[in-house]
């Protein structure tokens, strides 16, 4: 898929205020600092469509972007940021949960995980929850450039093995690096395939 246009539409903290259009949408979510903003900018080839976070945990909003005038890319807040209060975490959880449970336009969520780290409980639990709710998702491994090829391969294998403890098959997954523009075509083509299947 070529990106011909990418426009910011709206930010909000309430799913009922999200765009009313029926366009298919793809949500990007992951732990703070996982490289989500960099990935969104890499995918859309825009330098600062999504704001890279100097201060993790600050972008606590649902951000809609209109891509090629025919689908929405949704930038969701990073989760698992230790420095927000318990109350803030709860509120946050609720509005993200509301988004996932009340957004029929959502066709696929991409859960971002840092390719360098071992499977993290918070990510695995989140994927489990998506599965229980019947929400399709894919996994995007980020920052692949930070690892030697062998180590990267090994990490992905270990991650897959961990997932197979609870899942019958490994969900669709993509290895990316925003600095090296790795995985761009794979992610965009996957989105395009789904869009085409919906037409
Ligand atoms: P976010 O908080 O998930 O939106 O993460 P950011 O996109 O702001 O990235 C967090 C940090 O990781 C920044 O310092 C980025 O420069 C760095 N980063 C993000 N993606 C990559 C990548 O693919 N490769 C490398 N080497 N660094 C990255």
CA atoms within 13 A on the CB side of 49: 25
CA of 34 to the centre of ligand 1 (A): 6
Nearest residue CA, atom 20 of ligand 1? 35
- Assigned architecture for domain 6-198: 3-Layer(aba) Sandwich (3.40)
**Ligand 1 centre from 179 Cα, in Å?**
8
Which pLDDT does position 84 carry in this prediction? 59
Banded pLDDT at 106 (limits 50, 70, 90): very high
Q: Please state, in angstroms and rounded to a whole number, the distance separating the CA atoms of residues 33 and 22.
A: 31
Alpha-carbon distance of 80 to 89, in angstroms, equals 8
Centre of ligand 1 from the C-alpha of residue 124, in Å: 21
Residue written as token pair 């807040």? 77
Q: What is the pLDDT of residues 24-76, one digit of tens each?
A: 999 999 998 999 999 999 999 998 888 765 444 446 789 999 999 999 999 99
What is the model's pLDDT at position 88? 67
Residue 9 contacts residue 65 (beta carbons within 8 Å): yes
Which DSSP state fits 177? B
Please count the other Cβ atoms lying within 10 Å of the Cβ belonging to residue 55: 10
Q: How many CB atoms lie within 10 A of CB 5?
A: 12
pLDDT recorded at residue 79: 77
- Picking from 50-64, 87-101, 119-133, 180-194, which range would have the lowest pLDDT averaged per residue? 50-64
Per-residue pLDDT, 81: 58
- What is the distance between the alpha carbons of residues 111 and 107, in angstroms, rounded to a whole number? 13
Query: What residues does ligand 1 touch, defined as CB less than 6 Å away?
Result: 32-38, 52-53, 56, 78, 142-143, 145-146, 177-179
pLDDT for 52 equals 60
> pLDDT tens digits, residue range 134-191?
999 999 999 999 999 999 999 999 999 999 999 999 999 999 999 999 999 999 999 9
Q: Give me the residue spans of the domains in the chain.
A: 6-198
Whole-number Å distance, alpha carbon 99 to ligand 1 midpoint, is 25
Residue 59 is encoded by which pair of tokens?
Answer: 């972008």
138 within 8 A of 105, measured Cβ to Cβ: no
Return the ligand 1 atom nearest residue 56 CA: 2
- Dist. CA 65–CA 76, nearest whole Å: 11
Is pLDDT above 50 for 80?
yes
Write down the pTM of the prediction: 0.93
């Amino acid at each position: 898929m070529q990106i011909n246009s990418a426009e910011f539409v709206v930010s909000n903290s309430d799913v009922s205020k999200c765009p009313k259009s029926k366009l298919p949408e793809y949500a990007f979510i992951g732990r703070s600092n996982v490289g989500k903003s960099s990935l969104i900018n890499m995918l859309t080839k825009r330098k600062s469509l999504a704001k890279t976070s100097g201060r993790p945990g600050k972008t606590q909003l649902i951000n809609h972007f209109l891509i090629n005038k025919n689908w929405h890319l949704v930038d969701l807040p990073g989760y698992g940021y230790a420095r927000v209060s318990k109350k803030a975490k709860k509120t946050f959880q609720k509005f993200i949960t509301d988004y996932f449970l009340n957004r029929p336009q959502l066709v696929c969520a991409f859960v971002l995980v840092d390719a360098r780290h071992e499977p993290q409980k918070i990510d695995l639990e989140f994927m489990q929850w998506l599965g229980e709710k019947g929400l399709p998702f894919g996994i995007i491994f980020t920052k692949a450039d930070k690892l030697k090829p062998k180590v990267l391969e090994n990490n992905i294998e270990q991650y897959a093995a961990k997932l197979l403890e609870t899942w019958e098959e490994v969900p669709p997954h993509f290895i990316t690096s925003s600095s090296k523009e790795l995985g761009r075509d794979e992610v965009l083509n996957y989105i395009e395939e789904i869009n085409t299947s919906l037409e």
